[in-house]
Structure 1
Amino acid sequence: MRMSLEQRLETNNKQDIDLAPLIDVVFILLIFFIVTTVFVKETGVDIEKPKAVSTQSLERNVVLIAITSDRQVVYDGANVGVSGVRSTVSSVMKRKQKPLVIKADKTVSTELLVQVIDQAKLGGAEQINIATSEQ
């Protein structure tokens, strides 16, 4: 049985939405947001920071070293110890000079904190900050 002229015109006039350009735009936006996002390397340990009135926010592009309450010195989730701070900081600072932030637990002794700061300075860190939380 042959289709009538009306049926043939209806099948020819169906309008579909072409999704290819939409998918292209979504992928371009996804790539844009991935490339422009700044990723911050966290230390990987929970620290109870001391409180301070003069707390300020720092830029996102920093090097983070944590000192836990059980005297572990941690960078990027690995325990580097006080002796590994100098080599770690020097390898990071060779690529680009960044501020160093030390996240020390409030129970950490001043002696250990000073040792870490000394090793970081010997490793080439020019700007060293201590992380605190607001009061």
Structure 2
Amino acid sequence: MGRLRDLAAEDNSDTGIDMSPLIDCVFILLIFFIVTTTFVEETGVEVDKPQAASSVRLEKTSILIALTDKGEVVYGGREIGVSGVQPLVKRMLQKEEVPVIIQADTAAQSGLLVRIIDEAKLAGAVKVSIASRQSKS
């Protein structure tokens, strides 16, 4: 009779699934996705870019400066003005040699666009590009 009592006691024991390996796997996947995700940097304003047949994709790491139709020069969601372009580009180029991409609105003044390009080049930028939409052919 002692044997039956031992078997019955084992059946009543709490059998469950160990969740710690599953939680470890979830955390490892989370870390993997965080590390491998690339974040797209935007200027913070909506700009109507002109179309160009010769447009190509540039590198993901770049300095994005926006020029709105109202003449505002925007970087990272805040207005920096034309005078803020040169110090910004100098500071960014100290970390890494990256291209400067200007997202100019189609209605923006060309004189202001030329001043921004000039300020970026005076700051030491070797590669200054103007963003455009690829034309639909």
2-structure distance, mates of 1:65, 1:131: 10
Residue matched to 2:38: 38
Equivalences, count: 132
2-structure distance, mates of 1:6, 1:25: 35
- Contact 2:69–2:109 (CA under 8 A) maintained in structure 1: no
Residue matched to 2:130: 130
Q: Give CA deviations for 1:41-75 in whole Å, capped at 9, x if unaligned.
A: 21000000001111211221111000000000000
Return structure 1 stretches of 4+ with deviation > 6 angstroms: none
Residue matched to 1:121: 121
- Contact 1:40–1:62 (CA under 8 A) maintained in structure 2: no
The code of the aligned residue for 2:28 comes to I
- State TM-score, norm by structure 2: 0.89
The code of the aligned residue for 1:9 comes to E
CA RMSD of aligned residues (A): 1.6
Residue matched to 2:11: 10
The code of the aligned residue for 1:34 comes to I
- State TM-score, norm by structure 1: 0.90
Gaps in structure 1 of 5+ consecutive residues: none
Q: Give CA deviations for 1:59-118 in whole Å, capped at 9, x if unaligned.
A: 211110000000000001110100110001111111011111100000112111110000
Gaps in structure 2 of 5+ consecutive residues: none
User: % of aligned pairs identical?
Assistant: 45
2-structure distance, mates of 1:42, 1:132: 14
2-structure distance, mates of 1:6, 1:38: 57
2-structure distance, mates of 1:5, 1:35: 52
1:25 aligns with 2:25: yes
C-alpha deviation, 1:17, in angstroms: 1.4
1-structure distance, mates of 2:118, 2:96: 20
